[in-house]
């Protein structure tokens, strides 16, 4: 029997379908930002020993591709959740540390505490969707996303943050602005093309996940952004437990949980580790576990990604997980994304 899609046709779905517009609007605003360029010039001159990347929830996971880009460019960069940074790693706040802080609201409890502790210590680049937030107003350089108001679960703010962070990374790593813009221009059309078939994907996945009790999302490299965020939004949207981890970590314990009630979504990722991910798929299926690949060559249409430059892969990789959140909600007959216990902005540490 086909699922009733009327239960999912609400504000959360609207936000998902508005992602192409959010990406377009964010791209149009990504020009100028003299503050970021000035900080990039100081980085080139060796004024910073390290770059510290921080955020919470999906804002934290969104930093992973930037972390890889900076490290591969020869920059010492590391990620720390803001909650850990402010309480256990405050010695990192010094003039030789450049901070990149991401927060959709710009006013979550941890971000506000960060701004208080860091006052006049480390220069800070903010990426936020809220121009009048404490984070935007107190940053040395504020890069604003233009996703508009969001109902609950991060979707359009998340992909817009990924776009803004890709732009920040290219500035810091001295990538040609023309190349950056040419790549980012491809994001909105790719997302729009995928979402044009959302109903078919939801129906397909509702049937595929019917008897699933345990959901794992795994990947390597930049795909860990979608892995971490994906597991988070499944829990938030559907009250359904999902766990995200690296493909390698899955073999270190969770592999023992394989059964017909277990489904593992494997992000094929880039060429460097793609065959390792494919081998994991084969090994899971040999043990009667359910598993599928996410990528351009995926056999399941809902998991088949549009062709984009590798740097944009994190933006499109989250789309199949968003379809899973809708499919699970349709299957359970509940509205996805409506918070019952949590809130859009976390104001308590």
349, 83 contact by CB (below 8 A): yes
Same domain for 38 and 162?
yes
- Tell me, what's the pLDDT at 228? 98
Same domain for 36 and 170?
yes
Same domain for 78 and 35?
yes
- Number of structural domains (the chain) is 2
Q: What is the CATH number of the domain that holds 72?
A: 3.40.50.10490
Q: Is 254 left (phi over 0), alpha (psi -120 to 50) or beta?
A: alpha
Looking at the domain assignment, is residue 159 inside a domain?
yes
Same domain for 159 and 211?
no
Same domain for 158 and 291?
no
Same domain for 167 and 225?
no
Looking at the domain assignment, is residue 181 inside a domain?
yes
Cα dihedral across residues 294, 281, 223, 313: positive or negative? negative
Q: Is 26 exposed, middle or buried (0-12, 13-18, 19+ CB in 10 A)?
A: buried
Q: Which of 160, 185, 210 represents a domain boundary (last residue)?
A: 185
Same domain for 227 and 291?
yes
- Tell me, what's the pLDDT at 346? 83
- Residue 45: partners with Cβ closer than 8 Å, 6 or more residues away: none
106, 112 contact by CB (below 8 A): no
Same domain for 117 and 60?
yes
Residue with tokens 């494919």: 278
82, 114 contact by CB (below 8 A): yes
Residue 249 domain boundaries: 196-332
Same domain for 208 and 309?
yes
Looking at the domain assignment, is residue 97 inside a domain?
yes
Same domain for 212 and 308?
yes
| E strand residue ranges, 204-313 | 214-219, 242-246, 262-267, 290-294
Same domain for 68 and 168?
yes
Neighbours of 276 (CB within 10 A): 13
Looking at the domain assignment, is residue 21 inside a domain?
no
Q: Which of 185, 219, 251 represents a domain boundary (last residue)?
A: 185
Looking at the domain assignment, is residue 299 inside a domain?
yes
Q: Which two tokens stand for residue 27?
A: 């791209």
Looking at the domain assignment, is residue 347 inside a domain?
no
- Tell me, what's the pLDDT at 27? 97
- Residue 116: partners with Cβ closer than 8 Å, 6 or more residues away: none
- Tell me, what's the pLDDT at 5? 93
Looking at the domain assignment, is residue 346 inside a domain?
no
- Tell me, what's the pLDDT at 26? 97
- Tens of pLDDT, residue by residue over 277-333, are 999 999 999 999 999 999 999 999 999 999 999 999 999 999 999 999 999 999 999
Q: Tell me the pTM.
A: 0.97
64, 222 contact by CB (below 8 A): yes
Residue spans of the chain under pLDDT 70: 1, 32
Q: Which of 136, 160, 185 represents a domain boundary (last residue)?
A: 185
- Residue 316: partners with Cβ closer than 8 Å, 6 or more residues away: 187, 190, 191, 194, 305, 306, 308
Looking at the domain assignment, is residue 290 inside a domain?
yes
- Tens of pLDDT, residue by residue over 231-244, are 999 999 999 999 99
Backbone dihedral angles phi then psi of residue 213, each to the nearest 5 degrees:
-115, -20
Q: Is 36 exposed, middle or buried (0-12, 13-18, 19+ CB in 10 A)?
A: buried
Same domain for 208 and 251?
yes
**Of residues 156, 104, 150, 153, the one with CA closest to residue 130:** 104
Q: Which two tokens stand for residue 84?
A: 């850990």
114, 9 contact by CB (below 8 A): no
Q: Is 148 exposed, middle or buried (0-12, 13-18, 19+ CB in 10 A)?
A: middle
**Of residues 12, 7, 1, 28, the one with CA closest to residue 181:** 28
């Amino acid at each position: 029997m086909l699922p009733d899609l009327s239960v999912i046709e609400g504000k959360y779905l609207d936000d998902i379908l508005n992602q192409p517009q959010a990406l377009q609007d964010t791209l149009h605003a990504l020009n100028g930002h003299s503050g970021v360029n000035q900080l990039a010039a100081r980085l080139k001159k060796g004024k910073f020993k390290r770059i510290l990347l921080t955020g919470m929830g999906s804002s934290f996971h969104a930093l992973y591709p930037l972390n890889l880009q900076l490290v591969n460019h020869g920059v010492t960069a590391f990620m720390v959740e803001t909650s850990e940074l402010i309480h256990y790693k405050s010695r990192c706040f010094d003039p030789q540390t450049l901070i990149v802080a991401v927060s959709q609201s710009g006013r979550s409890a941890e971000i506000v505490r960060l701004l208080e502790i860091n006052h006049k210590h480390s220069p800070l680049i903010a990426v936020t969707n809220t121009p009048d937030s404490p984070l935007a107003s107190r940053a040395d350089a504020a890069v604003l996303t233009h996703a508009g108001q969001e109902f609950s679960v991060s979707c359009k703010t998340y992909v817009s943050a990924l776009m803004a962070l890709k732009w920040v990374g290219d500035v810091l790593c001295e990538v040609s602005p023309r190349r950056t813009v040419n790549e980012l221009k491809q994001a909105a059309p790719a997302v729009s093309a995928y979402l044009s078939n959302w109903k078919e994907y939801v129906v397909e996945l509702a049937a595929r996940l019917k008897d699933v009790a345990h959901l794992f999302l795994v990947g390597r490299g930049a795909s860990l952004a979608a892995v971490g965020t994906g597991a988070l939004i499944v829990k938030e949207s559907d009250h359904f437990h999902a766990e995200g981890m690296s493909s390698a970590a899955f073999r270190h314990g969770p592999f023992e949980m394989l059964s017909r009630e277990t489904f593992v979504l494997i992000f094929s990722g880039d060429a460097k580790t793609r065959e390792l991910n494919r081998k994991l798929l084969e090994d899971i299926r040999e043990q009667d576990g359910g598993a599928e690949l996410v990528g351009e060559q995926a056999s399941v249409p809902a998991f088949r990604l549009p062709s984009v430059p590798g740097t944009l892969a994190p933006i499109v990789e989250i789309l199949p997980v968003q379809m899973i959140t809708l499919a699970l909600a349709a299957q359970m007959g509940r509205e996805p994304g409506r918070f019952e216990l949590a809130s859009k902005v976390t104001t308590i540490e």
